Structure 1
Amino acid sequence: MTNSAISQLSCMDTTTISDALDKLGIAGQCLGIGPLDPACRLAGPAFTVRYMPCGVHGGTVGDYIDDLPEGTVIVLDNQQRLDATVWGDILTTVASRKRLGGTVIDGVCRDAPRAIDVKYPVFSRGSYMRTGKDRVAVDAVQCSVSIGGVRIDPGDLLVGDRDGVVAIPKARIEQVAEVAQYIDEAENHIRDAVERGERLDEVRKRQRYHSLQTRETS
């Protein structure tokens, strides 16, 4: 895995990466997860946290953030809960100060205006004011988690934009980057050609547009 492949994918649209994932047979599109602020982008390696209901013993949303390096994307699996949050303004303040890459939640956050004000990327199922303290507790960190139906492991690359979030397995980053670059160049050729007045159907045929995302078979 090279830094150039990571940098390349970090700048790409999720739509292009999604097509590359389809081409390679990788399920990496996180269903139902979107940005609080559509102008925000997110990219970086995953630090994962899994939550469970805490029952009668009380619980905490967890103290895990202080030692995370710059650029890390915090990935919180709250089992799609919409009635209890695991992220709010204090965590946003710390994450923004540490220049983390963003936060992805399979669930909801709160204090959304703070994240928007400081331009910190939070991608979730929405916002809701009810705290997760004494409702959920950290079950494990740096483990496999599920976000929008996608398995994410520590170190996987997350990329997010207005269209949502994709996850790229760390072992396949270079492969995805190569295919995504090919798709991006083909679509750029199509756009350039139609702007010059060429027929769309002819240009698409020449660039094999309708099979760009079709899964390859051996």
Structure 2
Amino acid sequence: MSTGTTDTSAASASGSELAGLYKFLRVTDVADAMDGLGYFDIGLVSRDVRPLWSGMKFWGVAATLRCVPSNRPMWKLDTTEDIVAAHRIWFEEVGRPAGVGDLPPGHVIVTDGGGAREVGFWGSMNAMAAHANGAVGIITDGYCRDTAEIALQQTPVCAAARGRTIIPGRIEAIEAQTTIGCGGVQVRPGDIVGTDDDGVIVVPQEIAPEVAKHAKAILIADMHARRRVYDKLGKAPDETVDIEAVESYHAGL
């Protein structure tokens, strides 16, 4: 079982600073900036991969996990205790890669589901635990289960589908912190990943600073235009037109 060969130490050192440049940006601002740099449609994760609850927004540094369908079934368990402990028993047998469990705060766990059939690789418990351990978000082009609890907890998960079944006998995590494909997009450790209600986007780390600069200008211009319309309508300003907050934040970076 491989743990990948990508060295992410340098990317991790600057990754949190890069992600900080994206704090106020919308996915649309970033997509427009990438278009302007000639990166047409690069980084646009499949529209099937979406936030599981409205209002979710995060930006962070990609930490990658590659999964494949299992080629062996889960064996019959004989006691209630073993059935409750099915995940532990499965992982003790098949193992799982190192590399995603001990990461600095601010990462986004991007998961390649490997085309496995319906299986809730992420659910309300392990996703919440990952969030508690510093992940600002989780993205998978596979399934997530316990989705009502995910929404209630406000655990930041984007998934392609809602599932019902558990991991044993269906899917194996085999490699971490390596280049993967997720929702039709290449993702490497250290790339910048974000989401909001419009979808998910991946920014290659090499262009992330320049994209952030242009995307900020796009956002500020849009905020000015929208605030003029707010004023015309007599509508009270809200955080989406709080230009001063954005400019003050960036002035402090």
TM-score range, shorter chain: 0.7 to 0.9
TM-align CA RMSD: 2.4
Paired residue secondary structure (1:125) = strand
Amino acid aligned to 2:27:
T
Distance 2:96 2:125 in 1: 12
Give the deviation of 1:85 after TM superposition. 2.5
Give the deviation of 1:153 after TM superposition. 0.2
Amino acid aligned to 1:186:
A
Distance 1:105 1:72 in 2: 14
Paired residue secondary structure (2:149) = helix
Give the deviation of 1:62 after TM superposition. 3.8
Residue 17 in 1 paired to residue 30 in 2? yes
Amino acid aligned to 1:108:
Y
Equivalent residue for 2:226, pick from 188, 191, 194: 191
Amino acid aligned to 1:25:
G
Residue 40 in 1 paired to residue 52 in 2? no
Residue 55 in 1 paired to residue 71 in 2? yes
Does the aligned pair in 2 maintain the 1:160–1:166 contact within 8 Å?
A: yes
Residue 29 in 1 paired to residue 64 in 2? no
Q: TM-score, normalised by structure 2?
A: 0.69
Does the aligned pair in 2 maintain the 1:92–1:114 contact within 8 Å?
A: no
Give the deviation of 1:194 after TM superposition. 5.0
Q: TM-score, normalised by structure 1?
A: 0.80
Give the deviation of 1:188 after TM superposition. 2.9
Distance 1:130 1:163 in 2: 28
Distance 2:171 2:17 in 1: 39
Does the aligned pair in 1 maintain the 2:62–2:193 contact within 8 Å?
A: yes
Change (3 A) 1:89 1:195: closer
Name stretches of at least 5 consecutive residues in structure 1 with no aligned partner: 198-218
Does the aligned pair in 2 maintain the 1:10–1:159 contact within 8 Å?
A: no
Does the aligned pair in 2 maintain the 1:10–1:44 contact within 8 Å?
A: no
Distance 2:149 2:158 in 1: 14
Paired residue secondary structure (2:150) = helix
Give the deviation of 1:96 after TM superposition. 3.0
Distance 2:227 2:124 in 1: 44
Distance 1:15 1:37 in 2: 18
Paired residue secondary structure (2:144) = coil
Does the aligned pair in 2 maintain the 1:81–1:106 contact within 8 Å?
A: no
Is 84-93 or 42-51 further displaced after alignment?
A: 84-93
Map 1:119-198 → 2, pairs under 5 A: 119-194=154-229
Equivalent residue for 2:134, pick from 99, 110, 130: 99
Paired residue secondary structure (1:137) = strand
Distance 1:159 1:175 in 2: 16
Paired residue secondary structure (2:162) = coil
- Tell me what 1:116 maps to: 151
Give the deviation of 1:63 after TM superposition. 6.2
Give the deviation of 1:3 after TM superposition. 5.5
Give the deviation of 1:129 after TM superposition. 0.7
Change (3 A) 1:8 1:89: same
Percent sequence identity is 27
Larger Rg: 2
- Tell me what 2:84 maps to: none
Give the deviation of 1:195 after TM superposition. 5.5
Give the deviation of 1:193 after TM superposition. 4.9
